[in-house]
Every structure is written in C-alpha cells, then in structure tokens.
Structure 1
C-alpha cells in the first residue's frame, strides 16, 4: 500500500496528492523523495509510474504520473501544447485592489554565489501567462486561485510577487518568513487533461489543513 493519496487512476495514468515537503527528485544532500513511493505506486502493474510534470518541494496537490512510456510521451506533448488545465490556490501576503486579472510577465533565471539561483521577471525571458482570481481575504492575507497557461519554473511565485505586488506566504526565496507557515503556501488543487477517444483525466485535491491556520478551510 502507498501512503500517498490517489486522486485518479486508470490503465495509463495516476494522479496523486503530493504532500508538501516531498521533492520530486532526490536532493543532493539526500533525504526523502517521491522515488521512495514509486514502487508502491505500481499498484499491480509491472512498471513504476513516472512523473509527467514538476511541483516544487513545498507545493502540495495534484501530480500526474504516467504508467507506461507511450502514455508518458503523449502526456508530455499535451503539456507542451498547453492542453492541460491546471488550477492552484495560494496565500498571498497582502491585500489586492482588484478581484481578478491576467499576468503576462516573461521569466528568466539568474544566479549568484551569494544567493544561488532564482527566477526574475525579465523582458528577454521566456513568456509566461497566469490568470488569477481572488477567493477570499482575512487578516491581510488573500486566498487566490491561479490558472497558469504556461508552466515556467517558479511561475506562480514570481507572478504573485511581480504581478500582484506580494509574494506567497512563507516563500523563503521571494518573500518574508511567517511564523504561521512552515512552507510556501501553494497548492495544486485541480488537473484536467483531455484525451482522444477516452474520458478526460480529472482530479481535484482538497485544501490542505495548514491553510486552515490562516482562516481558510
């Protein structure tokens, strides 16, 4: 048995509810990773499933896995062709003047010896688009739904900071520490992938308990 909840399952796909703090790849310094769970996620199949896309270590929620190489190739193409609907919810460390909008800010990677690598908004970077909608507000923190069109590294984190004017709560790279947050407060709440001649892959992950500490249940 696997201790990672399964949100969707068929002959070629799994969607699991990745817990916050679990990296997809093994960290250089060692420690737990999704790899530790792939054998259990065979669920009677000969092959271990393969992650199709990435979620940051802190990000919880819907993660798609392919159960065979042919499915992996098709799913990768669907992501490349932007045929996958993804929804996230995040806590933004501030209040917003508008209720919804679209952020179009290109992103680029920079690095330095002091701070390591990070992403920044840059005109010469790779195009990135995120639709957003305000879901609620409490004590100076805003619950926001993010619907990324593109899938750039740290896209939502940078678009929150540079596009909305506030970093995500608990973001150790782009924000400020918050004693109530043990991680960057971002959750992949929904994933939908349409397939030819098959029912869509569709999964929804409930809001994690740590969002409740900010008054959002």
Structure 2
C-alpha cells in the first residue's frame, strides 16, 4: 500500500516553476527505482519543503493513493516534526492558532499571518533548551493540526522564535547558513482497520545533530 522514505534535506519533492526546472534533480525523477515489482512507480502522498528532511509517505498504486488522500483529508494521519528555533517559547507547551494566507502572487508559496487567511493550528512541546554559536535555542516537537504551506515555519517566526537556518522566514544567510533545522520526525498511519497504526520514525539529519545535542538529545 505505501512506502515511507527518509527524504534528505535539499531534495525537492516536485519540480518547481518552469524557470527553475533545470536547477536540480527532484524526488519524482527517482521514483521508478522504488516500484519493487509493481507496474507503476509510487507517488508522493503529501509534500515536504525542499530543505525539510524526514518521513515522506509514498502511495504504491492508485487505490493506495486514494486511501491515503482520504486519511490526510480527514486528519487521520499523525505527523510530528522536530525543529530547532532561536530563543524559544516561554512555556513548555502550547498551541499556535494563527490563520495563514499567501504573502503575494509574486512570492509563490511564501506565506504570512493574515486574519482573513485559512485557519491554521500547530501544537508545540519543548523537548530541550541550550545554546549554540547562534545563541540560545530550543528543541521543539511540532504537530501540525492543519496542513498549510510553510505552516510550521511561519507559526514559529510569528511567535517570536524563528527556525534556525530558515532563509525565508528567519535570519539565516542565503549561503553558508546552518541549514533549515526542521525534520519530519515521525508519521502514524492507520492503514488497516483491524491492526495497530503504522508508526515510522526517521533519524535526524547530520546538519541538526550539533544543535540537538546542545539541547540535551543523546541519540
């Protein structure tokens, strides 16, 4: 029915605008290698930003894609992210409830907080705090309750603690930064009615290890 892969940071899931299509390979260029005997290649059932690493669900055939799409639509698939943010929330857990809309037609997928935008909610929990060469940081577990584009990144930035390495919504330089510190840590999929949900975790990427260890992670 499905595959869950650990997408590396820096690899886009789909081709972007036509002007950028020659810039780099994308995940969809390589999906034929994941057929494993089926006549069709799998397809991505959801999106991850180019610079976000971690769990990405692929549907192996049209029936699987239809079922996965229904589960995503109905909010039945659990997703958990790890992020390193600059500063950090005052409390150890909470809910960010800020509607989001596109920043402007010229900015493509870039988003902003907008009272007239779509409802958007993110639950967060602090897993650790520390200090790096970039100053005080916090290690967060983020659970998106809605699925808006760039939701986690905008919600963190609007809350006063942008993600470390975010070139769009944070303070990272375009070149030479620490890399976006956002990782799709786990997915939970109730794929079969009479079985326990399938839970998959992806190990954090190399570019996040130093900050995670500074915040107390010992993996």
TM-score (norm 1): 0.88
| Corresponding position of 1:94 | 87
The superposition leaves residues 10-67 of structure 1 with CA deviations (integer Å, 9 ceiling, x where unpaired) of: xx10000000000011233221100122011112221100100000000000000000
Displacement after TM superposition at 1:213 (Å): 2.5
State which of 24, 42, 47 in structure 1 corresponds to 2:40. 47
**1:210 aligns to 2:202 (yes or no):** no
- Give the unaligned 5+ runs of structure 1: 1-11
State which of 123, 126, 137 in structure 2 corresponds to 1:131. 123
| Aligned length in residues | 204
| Corresponding position of 1:184 | 180
The alignment yields a C-alpha RMSD, in angstroms, of: 1.8
| Corresponding position of 1:159 | 155
Q: 8 Å contact 1:53–1:63 — kept in the other structure?
A: yes
Q: 8 Å contact 2:139–2:212 — kept in the other structure?
A: no
- Give the unaligned 5+ runs of structure 2: none
| Corresponding position of 1:77 | 70
| Corresponding position of 1:60 | 53
| Corresponding position of 1:104 | 97
TM-score (norm 2): 0.87
| Corresponding position of 1:36 | 29
**1:20 aligns to 2:9 (yes or no):** yes
